Structure 1
Amino acid sequence: MKYISIGTKQQSVSLSEGIFKGLSDDGSLFMPEDIPHLGNDFYASLSGFSLNEIAFSVLRPFVEEETDDTTLWQMVEETFSFPIPLVNIHDNINVLELFHGPTQAFKDVGARFLSRLMSRLHPVRDKKMVVLTATSGDTGGAVAHGFHKVPGIEVVVLYPKGKISPYQENQMTSLGYNIHAIAVEGTFDDCQRLVKQAFNDRELRKDVAVTSANSINLGRLLPQMVYYFYGVADIQRRLPGTEPVICVPSGNFGNITAAVMAYRMGLPVKRFIAATNVNDVVPRFLKTGDYDPRDTIVTYANAMDVGDPSNFPRLYYLFENNLEQLRRMFSADIITNKEILETIQSVFQQHNYLLDPHSATGYLGLTREIKNDEVGFFVSTAHPVKFVEIIEKVLPGEAERLKKEFGADTALQGGTEHMPVSYKSLKDKLIEL
């Protein structure tokens, strides 16, 4: 299996090269040269497989040239060590809960797998390895916990100051050791641009082996396919032969790209819905054909506050950069702050199910688009405890319960570094580590 850039140069690399480079030489993203079909026998038995069996089968074609089966199985067991239940909310609406990992966010899956893959494939021993990542909320905590105390690797996480929840911030800043969380005085897009500048700085990379744990990294993207297979398997245990509609809360569009990759591997899915907040570059593109990134707007679903989604080129590539192909299989819904609050309140009151702001967009996107004769699920990307400040606006009693249960009202712990939107400041930091 080779991995190619999707830019103009069509660079071809191995898995380890792609993981540690992050971006290709032309600044574009890597994708598998071929996406294998798992075969009819696999799909005929899908509903009978365990989560780990599915993970092993899905990931093996992508890693087998650099990782033996015993090592892969061990990585799978360490990554998928928590449940991923499919829960029926009502009628034909289901939710795949991805928040049962250590940082209560879907990104635990990608970060845990990536950290284990990197520790086994680490190609550089003569200079320090720095994992550099930007976060709009949940990536930072997942990466920090996934790489905490991993020997030989320093982690630098950039996040927009004042634009993530205190609980999210605490998950990054309280660890210490090899974890450096830095509040940038700007937006997530500013953080992301700084990261890309570092990757493209050849002078820096002579001295520092910089790689990423963002969703631009292949090692994050590949394991995210697994839970879509598992969700479809669970649907088919209940309703054999069903091809579900899948809705994904989307900001940087990595998670839904993984879902479409699973579909390209043969996973039976009827169609996809991307639920966005008012950072709506992709819904506008689907409507007009013009890709027009804009400044980030801060919303209650802060992990989706992305004005220029870095993974969208991958998604578009999967549809051969053809807008009509994309439209046939893919739609997108815009959810406002007001609708997020109303959905959290109404779903809890009517169905006794508590949504976080991001999952609320997934629920609303699915219920708006699904037809009576269809079955669907949306992915719940974070536990509501991470957003008690938002829950409190409409369900103060539930917010108080969450605070007490999880200690979510505790003060910020650990030191927080601050940085202007300055590449020189970031470069100096990376050299100093």
Structure 2
Amino acid sequence: MVTSYVSTRGSETASLREAVLQGMSPRGGLYVPTQIPTFDWPPPEGSVAEWLAPSLFPSLEPDVARRIAQDACDFPFPLVQIDDSSFILELFHGPTHAFKDVGARFMADLVSLFATGSGNEITVLVATSGDTGGAVANAFFGRRGTRVVAVFPLRGVSETQRRQMTTLGDNVEAVAVEGTFDDCQRMVKECFSDPSLSARHGLTSANSINVARLLPQAVYYLEAARRFREPVHFVVPSGNLGNLCAGLIASKGGMPHAGFTAAFNRNHGVADLLQGGPFETRDSIRTLSNAMDVGNPSNLERIQWLYKSDDALRVDVGGDWVSDEDTVRAIASVHRREGYVMDPHTAVAFAVAQRLDAGVTPVVILSTAHPAKFPEVVEDAICESVSMPETILSARQKNELMSVIPPDLGKLKELLDGGRQ
């Protein structure tokens, strides 16, 4: 069965290979499956990832899809109970300690599969507000025929997030922009809109705008949902909305649920939309939950395409936001009561979840990053040091290599054409 993908901005279609390697449609739209992947519920015993992968990517041979899923999801997703009805789904047990490892590793295998024998180098160009860059860099590191260019705001990521991009070298290049994540995302999108540049470098995106990054994230929603007898309510830390979009695709494919709540920091334009107002593009604001500092999220376009109307979207998805002060209080209170340590992004979702009137419905809060990636924020909140995984300690000891540029498209194009500076 060959499933095609259609653009959110018209009738342009693409095969899986084209959608993965192009990243975006020629007119700037995002690819979505022409038919949402469906599956029988509940999943059988065993690996959800290996069971789901052939449904997510039916144009692949089933054995190939299962092998890629096995490689990409070779770490656990623990579910930690916090109180009678609140649970935290830990998604940070992969190699870079962030939920982005799932999609990045799946995409790296797909790109390698499609690039084999082409003889042309593929440049993976990615804008990141935090964890995406490190996950993509790690997933593609050392792979022949690929070049990774990770573009991030110079003062908008944590030290650990930065070092996961700047200390690898080899086929990974880190580009720090003296601006915001929205500047980075705008520049990257404009690069993809340049046919000559895209063709010259074989550009593809590893942001969640790429279906190969997005769709595999449905795995951990199903992994969580099957552990409960009744439908659960998911609370999702939200920035560029890829995480939420993957959950909504899982729900439309057959996963029972009791609703979704998108949790935001002060960059809450989408929360305003979900609460009944209009969405207005805004300049991003720096917060303690930096990976969510997105003023114009790419995947809103994809979500609105899935639902056709904002009123229909609001039936399934609520939205709320909290301040940095609320975030710190959540980290401190949960640690004091339960001895559990949350990162700032998880804390945003937890603080929003505390406002829900969910009754006895299980509430699953997605924990997107290890607290050790944000030691300054977390240690100030809990008044003690955070245990550091060995991989994070190792990155802190290595030399960094990065280019620093203004938020200027021409400078990024020069870097792409000229290589590392």
The alignment's TM-score, normalised by the length of structure 2, stands at 0.95
- The letter for the 2-side match of 1:109 is V
| Equivalent residue number for residue 233 of structure 2 | 245
Instruction: Give the aligned CA root-mean-square deviation in angstroms.
Output: 1.8
* C-alpha deviation, 1:367, in angstroms: 2.1
Structure 1 unaligned segments of length 5 or more: list them.
none
- The letter for the 1-side match of 2:31 is F
What do residues 6-28 of structure 1 show as CA deviations (whole Å, max 9, x unaligned)? Answer: 11x22111111111111112211
In 2, Cα distance between equivalents of 1:403 and 1:393: 19
In 2, Cα distance between equivalents of 1:403 and 1:232: 28
In 2, Cα distance between equivalents of 1:375 and 1:367: 12
| Equivalent residue number for residue 299 of structure 1 | 287
Asked whether 1:432 is paired with 2:418, we answer yes
SS in 2 for 1:371: coil
In 1, Cα distance between equivalents of 2:123 and 2:27: 21
Picking from 35, 46, 49, the partner of 2:45 is 49
Asked whether 1:418 is paired with 2:404, we answer yes
| Equivalent residue number for residue 64 of structure 1 | 58
- Cα 1:405–1:229, aligned 2, differ >3 Å: closer, same or farther? closer
* C-alpha deviation, 1:63, in angstroms: 2.1
* C-alpha deviation, 1:230, in angstroms: 0.3
* C-alpha deviation, 1:370, in angstroms: 4.0
- The letter for the 2-side match of 1:337 is D
- Cα 1:205–1:124, aligned 2, differ >3 Å: closer, same or farther? farther
Matches of residues 23-422 of structure 1 in structure 2 within 5 Å? 23-39=24-40, 43-44=41-42, 46=43, 48-50=44-46, 52=47, 54-65=48-59, 67-122=60-115, 125-234=118-227, 236=228, 240=229, 242-320=230-308, 322-399=309-386, 401-402=387-388, 407=393, 410=396, 413-422=399-408
Asked if structure 1 preserves the Cα contact closer than 8 Å seen for 2:275 and 2:319, the reply is no
* C-alpha deviation, 1:329, in angstroms: 1.1
What do residues 97-138 of structure 1 show as CA deviations (whole Å, max 9, x unaligned)? Answer: 000000000000000000001100127835431000000000
* C-alpha deviation, 1:409, in angstroms: 9.7
| Equivalent residue number for residue 5 of structure 1 | 7
What do residues 368-427 of structure 1 show as CA deviations (whole Å, max 9, x unaligned)? Answer: 11422211101100000000010122223134x449995389456221211111111111
* C-alpha deviation, 1:62, in angstroms: 3.5
What do residues 201-241 of structure 1 show as CA deviations (whole Å, max 9, x unaligned)? Answer: 0121232210000010000011000100000012x2xxx2x
- The letter for the 2-side match of 1:417 is S
Asked if structure 2 preserves the Cα contact closer than 8 Å seen for 1:104 and 1:383, the reply is yes
In 1, Cα distance between equivalents of 2:322 and 2:289: 10
- The letter for the 2-side match of 1:4 is V
Asked if structure 2 preserves the Cα contact closer than 8 Å seen for 1:131 and 1:211, the reply is yes
Asked if structure 1 preserves the Cα contact closer than 8 Å seen for 2:101 and 2:136, the reply is yes
Q: How many residues align?
A: 417
In 1, Cα distance between equivalents of 2:5 and 2:117: 20
Asked if structure 2 preserves the Cα contact closer than 8 Å seen for 1:130 and 1:156, the reply is yes
Asked if structure 2 preserves the Cα contact closer than 8 Å seen for 1:403 and 1:409, the reply is no
Single out whichever of 107-116 and 9-18 deviates more from structure 2. Answer: 9-18
- The letter for the 1-side match of 2:85 is N
The alignment's TM-score, normalised by the length of structure 1, stands at 0.93
Structure 2 unaligned segments of length 5 or more: list them.
none
* C-alpha deviation, 1:363, in angstroms: 1.1
% of aligned pairs identical?
A: 37
What do residues 330-365 of structure 1 show as CA deviations (whole Å, max 9, x unaligned)? Answer: 101101100000000000001111000000011122
In 2, Cα distance between equivalents of 1:370 and 1:402: 36
SS in 1 for 2:81: strand
Single out whichever of 27-36 and 99-108 deviates more from structure 2. Answer: 27-36
Asked if structure 1 preserves the Cα contact closer than 8 Å seen for 2:50 and 2:67, the reply is no
Asked if structure 2 preserves the Cα contact closer than 8 Å seen for 1:59 and 1:222, the reply is no
In 2, Cα distance between equivalents of 1:161 and 1:271: 36
Asked if structure 2 preserves the Cα contact closer than 8 Å seen for 1:56 and 1:76, the reply is yes
